[in-house]
Amino acid sequence: MDFSADKSDMPKIPSKGWLNLLKWIVLPLAFSFLAYKLLTFNQYHDLITQWKQLSLSQFWWLGAVFLLLPINMLLEATKWKQLVSKIQVLQLTDALRGVLVGIATGFLTPNRVGELVGRVMFLNPEHRKAGITLTLLNGLTQNIIMVLCGVPACALFINSHKESIAMNTSLYLWLLAAGLVLFGIVYFLLPRFSRMLNRSRYSEKIKAFTDCLSLYSKQDLVQITLISLGRYVVFCTQFFFMLRFFGVDLSMEQALISIPTTYLFVTFTPTFAFSDVAVRSSYAVLVIGVFSGQVVSIALAGMCIWLVNFVIPLLVGLVVLARENK
């Protein structure tokens, strides 16, 4: 299969039938989900109380969180554009549409694996099988960064609080570190593995999915990983700003230990998007609460960063999906 990307090859819009199917499935479920979360949210009193106690100067932190949101999304779109450039040339706006619709289609699946449906729908039909593989590769690069930054932070966290943490947690860290090494080896050897698979007797069955991997050099993979690192820095910074908005006073050292540790635990806990807010807030209280006794503020910060970084892009993705009529 020829994956060479023609510079004049503009992305084709998904067929009307497929788009209508996505609309009828995703839109009602998504709005039902949001209505359910709003109706069952039991911390309105705490939120209102906390809101009344905020000073005007604290709203600068909230403004900074919102200013970083488009940077967060643009970095993800840039990474997706870079990934698929080997098989199809996308404009940044088309890559962003795919990312946003992917968030909308992934909210009901474990760890949002359903994002691949939304992303590949904006690729040409002949490239969608490769697009599935590249979506998985995209997630792998972000998880590598999560582990690369999270394991050292978690080790420091455990080392400084040995008396209050079960020692079998160290086994978990060693397993994650070993997994990071394995992921790193597999990640940078993917082009070689792809060429080996294409020479095997099963090549015809899987070639449409794996052939694209042989197009990437180690330099390409490093560049994609660096974009993932940039995005990681952005959403960790957003979380820190949200904590400061709610008055949680963390030193820079405490933030560099607790926030990557929280994201590490969240990343490797199987969740659905509709339960992610509870998991995120629970881990935030568990980890960040060691450094600060402001449990309510920490929980609210965890909830609000989820609203900003997931619910807002989800709503935008639903609008993009609803307006797609070609």
pTM of the model: 0.82
> How far is residue 130 from each of residues 69, 88, 166, 212, 216, measured CA to CA in Å?
29, 10, 43, 6, 13
Higher pLDDT, 122 or 263: 263
In a domain, 177, yes or no: yes
In a domain, 100, yes or no: yes
Q: What is the pLDDT of residues 258-317, one digit of tens each?
A: 999 999 988 877 766 556 777 788 888 889 988 988 888 888 898 899 989 998 999 999
- Sequence-ordered list of residues with C-beta below 8 angstroms from that of 162, at least 6 positions apart, any chain: none
Per-residue DSSP letter, 311:
I
Contact 86, 105 (CB under 8 A): no
In a domain, 116, yes or no: yes
In a domain, 5, yes or no: no
In a domain, 6, yes or no: no
In a domain, 4, yes or no: no
In a domain, 11, yes or no: no
Domain residues for the domain of 147 are 16-323
In a domain, 141, yes or no: yes
Q: What is the pLDDT of residues 51-103, one digit of tens each?
A: 777 777 888 999 999 999 999 999 999 999 999 999 999 999 999 999 999 99
Looking at the structure of the chain, the number of domains it has is 1
Q: Decide: helix, strand or coil at residue 167.
A: coil
